[in-house]
Amino acid sequence: MSTLTQARAASQHDGADAPARLLSLPLALTFLAEFTSLTSFFLLLSVLPMLAAAAGVSSSGAGLITGSLLLGTVVAEAAAAPGIRRFGYRTMIAAGAVLLGAPALALMSREPQAVMMCVSFVRGLGFGLCGVTTGALTATLLPPGRRGEGLGLLGIVSGIPAVVALPAGVWLAGHHLGAAVAGMAAAAGVAPLIAIRWLPGAGAAHSTQQAARTRRTPGAGVRIALIFAAGTIAAGVIDSFLPLAKGVPSSLASAALLTSAITATLSRWQAGRHGDRYGHVRLLIPALIVAAAGMTAMLWLASPVPLFAGMALFGAGFGVLENATFALLLDQLPEAKASALWNFAYDAGYGAGPAVFGLFAARTGYPAAFALTGILVLAALPAAMRERKLRPRRYHSTGSAVRPPVSAPVRSGSCPAGTVSRMAGKRAGSWAKTARSSMRASGAPMQ
């Protein structure tokens, strides 16, 4: 083989191993729909319990308002996957945007608890449709080899509303601007309608073939969902009740929620990149332990240092848990089903947590109730251990073998084909010289 031919072969292998393009226009517009729908969701998430408490509603009643929101979300998520197959992505996102945004206008004036619960339920329907559809569409638009990284980028997009909208809504409502928050939530909710015409229609987006997934493990989908639900229960408790905790000013609660949201966003992004290389299943156990440690630190709720440390720890663990569980579900299930199950686990835990927490907090107090929630997070450790035991570490989100680090020795059968070809092309000359020298030394005839 000539030097020119070797150079061409090496160039072809390098091009084949080059990372696929991550961003595209449909993906960017899908991110926009995710961003605006989450902005509408988070603006009112903590505000409605605050308004209910100001109207004299008990802690358990305030928790039921959040529970109504998540109940509607769970109902919509159960129908989202069949709806995507029947009507397509555009129709489902449009329906979700209208249901999420329009009812928020009813909250621009003070309403009784029953009206708040009804509005929350309808908004939950819209949020569930938007969440499942944008999640499934994102998964289909991502290159398989960079799926974890793409999901991490989705985490940044979805984390910004939690960083900005959630504390902003609390701050505005604390300054008697609840009507303005409702108006902004309505506008943000219907904003995805702007990008509908440029999104892929029914069947336009590609789907990962079954061959690209890892072998399906019986019960793995449910087990992963339960692991994630343990974290979402704690997340719903924090977002709904930290602003109501006695001895925690609204400004301090907003700053603590901001800290948790920032750390969750950053850790989710890094978890995606790390999981693509080393495997997402390895992240489950550390994420649960760190999140539980953050909840335990809430025992010292009245002190700012433990409060912020606990929120940072919980956010870091929860962000890793978000990305790892979604990637693992995509290993096992089609995109629409995986997104529906992941969102179902998110919102079922997010709604059930505040509904039950309000009952416990009334007897134990907020610090002890927060710590007990941390123990609940640790209850998912056996499931995470079993998942790691059953799933081979050599597989990541695309089902392909994880490449060893550059400094690691190359072993037969474990090095990717592209790497072997490049090494052969680069070292062919030196191997040939070595062979000819050996043949001369042995006296063997040279051809």
What is the DSSP annotation of 351-406? HHHHHHHHHHHHHH-HHHHHHHHHHHHHTTHHHHHHHHHHS-TTB-TTSSBPPPPT
Question: Hey, is 144 helix, strand or coil?
Answer: helix
Q: Could you tell me the pLDDT band of residue 174, with boundaries at 50, 70 and 90? A: confident
- Token pair 């129709």 is at which residue? 91
Cα separation, 348 vs 233, in Å, equals 8
**What integer is the mean pLDDT of 135-141?**
91
Q: CB neighbours (10 Å) of residue 255?
A: 17
- pLDDT the model gives residue 207: 52
Of the two residues 203 and 410, the one the predictor is more confident about is 203
**Half-sphere exposure of residue 135: CA atoms within 13 angstroms, side-chain side:** 30
pLDDT at 382 over 60: yes
Rounded (to 5) percent helix, strand, coil in the chain: 80, 0, 20
Cα separation, 70 vs 344, in Å, equals 9
Of the two residues 97 and 203, the one the predictor is more confident about is 97
pLDDT digits (tens, 9 = 90+) for 349-361: 887 888 788 777 7
Q: What domains, with CATH codes, occur in the chain? A: 23-199+216-390 (1.20.1250.20)
pLDDT at 412 over 60: no
**What integer is the mean pLDDT of 354-371?**
82
Q: Could you tell me the pLDDT band of residue 218, with boundaries at 50, 70 and 90? A: low
Residue 395 forms beta bridges with which residues?
Answer: 401
Task: Give, as one character, the DSSP assignment of residue 142.
Answer: S
| CA torsion, ordered 70, 72, 78, 80, to nearest 10 deg | -110
Spatial CA neighbour of 161 closest among 240, 75, 45: 45
Q: Which amino acid is at 393?
A: R
Give the pair of three-digit tokens for residue 167: 């504390």
Contacts of 362 (CB under 8 A, 6+ apart): 58, 59, 60
- pLDDT the model gives residue 124: 93
**Phi, psi torsion values for 395, nearest 5 degrees:** -105, 140
Contacts of 290 (CB under 8 A, 6+ apart): 313, 314, 316, 317, 320
Give the pair of three-digit tokens for residue 251: 């400004």
- pLDDT the model gives residue 19: 62
Q: Could you tell me the pLDDT band of residue 435, with boundaries at 50, 70 and 90? A: very low
Mean pLDDT of the chain: 79
- pLDDT the model gives residue 16: 46
**What integer is the mean pLDDT of 218-223?**
76
- Let me know: does 327 contact 148? Beta carbons within 8 Å: yes
- pLDDT the model gives residue 8: 45
**Residue 140 CA to its chain's centroid (Å):** 15
- Let me know: does 98 contact 47? Beta carbons within 8 Å: no
Cα separation, 282 vs 286, in Å, equals 8
Question: Hey, is 71 helix, strand or coil?
Answer: helix
The helix-helix angle for 47-54 and 25-45 (nearest 10°) equals 20
Q: Could you tell me the pLDDT band of residue 130, with boundaries at 50, 70 and 90? A: very high
The percent of residues in the chain predicted with pLDDT above 90, rounded, is 32
- pLDDT the model gives residue 217: 60
- pLDDT the model gives residue 108: 82
Give the pair of three-digit tokens for residue 144: 């398989």
pLDDT digits (tens, 9 = 90+) for 273-313: 888 788 888 899 999 999 999 999 988 887 889 999 999 99
Spatial CA neighbour of 223 closest among 69, 333, 355, 372: 333
Out of 4-18, 224-238, 425-439, give the one with best mean pLDDT. 224-238
- pLDDT the model gives residue 216: 58
- Let me know: does 346 contact 232? Beta carbons within 8 Å: yes
Contacts of 438 (CB under 8 A, 6+ apart): none
**What integer is the mean pLDDT of 264-275?**
86
Q: What is the pTM of this model?
A: 0.73
Contacts of 432 (CB under 8 A, 6+ apart): none
- pLDDT the model gives residue 225: 92
Question: Hey, is 46 helix, strand or coil?
Answer: coil
**What integer is the mean pLDDT of 211-223?**
63
pLDDT at 321 over 50: yes
pLDDT at 426 over 50: no
pLDDT at 247 over 80: no
- Which of 109-113, 305-309, 382-386 has the lowest average pLDDT? 109-113
